[in-house]
Structure formats: structure tokens, C-alpha cells
Amino acid sequence: MQIKNDKDLKAILLLEDGSFFIGSPFGFPRKVIGEVVFNTGMVGYNESLTDPSYKGQILNFTYPLIGNYGVPSNIKDKWGIPLFFESEKIQVSGLVVSELCKYPSHPTSVRSLHDWMLEEGIPGIEGIDTRELTKRLRDKGVMMGLLDFYYDKPDIDELLSELKSSNKYDEINYANQIELSEPIVYENEGPTIALIDCGVKNNIIRNLLKREFKVIRFPHNVNVEKVLEYDPKGVVLSNGPGNPKKFNETIKLINDLIEYNLPLLGICLGNQLVAISLGGDTFKMKYGHRGQNKPAIFLGDGLTYVTSQNHGYAVDLNSLNETGLKVWWINADDKTIEGLAHYKKPIITVQFHPEATPGPYDTTFVFDYFVRMIERGRSIYA
């Protein structure tokens, strides 16, 4: 878009139900279409924006002021993994905030949120009633939206027609958009873990490395023969975007891996893919769980833990009868499944993010369960 005068440019967020919000632009002014979702976290926007699970979505933060601590530099840890970002770039299609902080203050800040989004070509809208937007998504469910920019007057009918003719989020195969094509090796002293990258967050990799595993990061469509060449002692199935039923090649891989009785840990999307692989089913949630304050009950001790979550699909409890899977965690609010474990096989999964970033580290012990399962080579129930 050719910018005439920044102060004259306006932004519009149009939802597929015909409702729309007019606000001020920030970031890079370009038209995008995506599924509009909301996140209830108070902090962690840098990590959320770079979370690959948000690919194809326009993210609305419910917290009223975003950007106040700026954006840090892309410094990396000793394994070459970025410390403050969950991938190498912003993953959301667009961003919605009530108020954008234009003059951030923090010792690690090197630029503003606006400048970062401008550099990466991501559009944003501020100054709208994000509470009203959140209530609409909560009551009607998440829906497709269009974010655009204009000077004079937007053509609502034309934009709505374009929005309604676009592909729905559920219909898009995001597995085809995952960029990893060749294995990446993270050297370490311990045994080898195969990490299946369906859109992995960096802190999942870091948590495995902290436990001294050597990590081989594979593309989601790798075949089982390639994985076995590296003699892994266990496999981690990562988080990722989109409809889990579109990940056909990964589902086949999981079926093949289960035949070799390798210990498996599924995280978020990985939880759903394990259930599907064993004959279970998933369903689209009305508005999902996205935030860093989601309570999950661990049935192992009966305690409730605060977890970081980002998902719009869940495993159907009624589909588990013939799978060999037992509910391991449940959501304290809506009783949806937050984790599974197999009766006989060394398989555990969680729907939340035990690696956090953003959010609490209360459930990092899930990785320790995985370590013990590898050491024992059998189900946690055996």
C-alpha cells in the first residue's frame, strides 16, 4: 500500500458475521485474512507472536496495554536457540490490541513492537474495543476475519464478500507450510531424542537439551526409517498450527513409531495426533484455550496446576474406548482432556505447554516423566 499520510490511514477488522471494528494502524499496512482468536495473557507477547501454533491467525490480546517492555535482540543460547523468541520470525497473520505502547522501556529492549512488526511485514490494529471483540468471539466462537487499511471509506460489502470466499482455517493444510525440510542436529552428551517438528517452539528443544539429550529435529513428514537411522531412545511430537486431521504423514509416522515401542511424548498438537493415530478423534473448540493462566488437574496427584496453553482443538473423550489411552490430565474449567497416557505402551501426552514461554513453569516436570519413561522403557502404569 502507498502511504499518503500516516495520520490519515485507518484500519478495519471485519469478522465473517458482518461486524467490524475501526481503529488505528501499526506494523506493516497490508490486507490479511485469518482466524481471529484471543489470548488472555498479561505478558509474553514476544513469545506468543513467534509461536508457530498461531500461524494463519489474527491474534487479539485481551490485556489492554501491549508493547510496554519492547522487543529484545535476537541473542541465542549455547545451542544457538533464540532466548526470547519461540521461532525465527513472527508467526501470526495480524495483531489486535486495545492500546499499543509506542515508547517501551526495558533494559533488554532494542526496538518497539511497531518497528518489529513493520520490519517483518505484519499488520496490526489498535484503539478498538478488544473486550467487545473478545465477548463476541467467546459467545459466537472464533471466526474468520479480515484486517485491512484505508484512507477514505472502506467498502464493507466488497471486503465481506472477499472474506466469505476465502478458505476457512479448518480447511487449510498448515502441514504443507512447515519450513523444515532436512534434519537439524543439536549436539549434547546424552542419548538421542527424535523431535518431530510440526511447528515446534524453541523452548521445547531447550528443555530436552537441558536434560542432556542429543536432539535430532525432523520434518513432520519424515518416514520412520529415517528416524530409526539415528537410533533414538524416545520421540517428542511437537505443537503446531491448524487442523490435526490434515497432518496425514505425521499420523502415519506415529503409527509406525508405536510399532517399535519407542517412548513418545506428545505436546499440544502432538497430543491430538497421538490420539488420532490410535483410533481416537478430535473436535474444534468454540474458542479454544489461549493464555498463561489455564488451570489443569493432574490426575496423578489430584492437584491443579497453572499452565500455558494455545490450542483450538481437543481430543474427544468418547473416542478413546479402543485406543488404550487413559485420561492423565483434565481442564479444571471445562473438563476437556489436557493429557493422556497409554495403559501398556510408553506414551504420554499433554495438551498444554509444559515448556511455558510465555507462562508459568509449574509443569516442566512432564519432561521428567518422559525421561523416567525412557529409562524404564515401559508405560507409566506398568
- Calculate ∠ Cα 289-295-299, nearest 5°: 115
Q: At which of 106, 138, 168 does a domain end?
A: 168
Same domain, 153 and 290: no
Grid cell locating 159:
471486503
| Cβ contact 32:59 at 8 Å | no
Whether 268 sits among the annotated catalytic residues: the reply is: yes
Supply the pLDDT for residue 4.
Answer: 46
Residue 299 falls within a domain, yes or no? yes
Supply the pLDDT for residue 382.
Answer: 83
Whether 355 sits among the annotated catalytic residues: the reply is: yes
Q: At which of 123, 142, 168 does a domain end?
A: 168
- In angstroms, the Cα distances linking 207 to 134, 158, 178, 242 are 33, 48, 22, 24
Kindly state the average pLDDT of the residues 199-212: 98
Q: How far apart are the first and last CA of the chain?
A: 61
Kindly state the average pLDDT of the residues 272-280: 98
Residue 2 has pLDDT above 50, yes or no: no
Mean pLDDT of the chain: 96
Grid cell locating 76:
541465542
CA-CA distance, 269 to 251, in Å (whole number)? 11
Q: Which of 198, 220, 268, 342 is catalytic?
A: 268
Same domain, 317 and 206: yes
Q: Give Dmax over CA atoms of the chain in angstroms.
A: 68
- Residue range(s) defining the domain that contains residue 63: 9-168
Residue 3 falls within a domain, yes or no? no
CA-CA distance, 203 to 298, in Å (whole number)? 22
Sheet strands (E) in 137-212: 143-150, 184-186, 192-197
Q: What is the pTM of this model?
A: 0.96
* 3-class secondary structure, 198: coil
Same domain, 131 and 214: no
Q: Residue ranges of the alpha helices (H) in 198-334?
A: 202-210, 224-228, 248-259, 269-277
CATH number at residue 189: 3.40.50.880
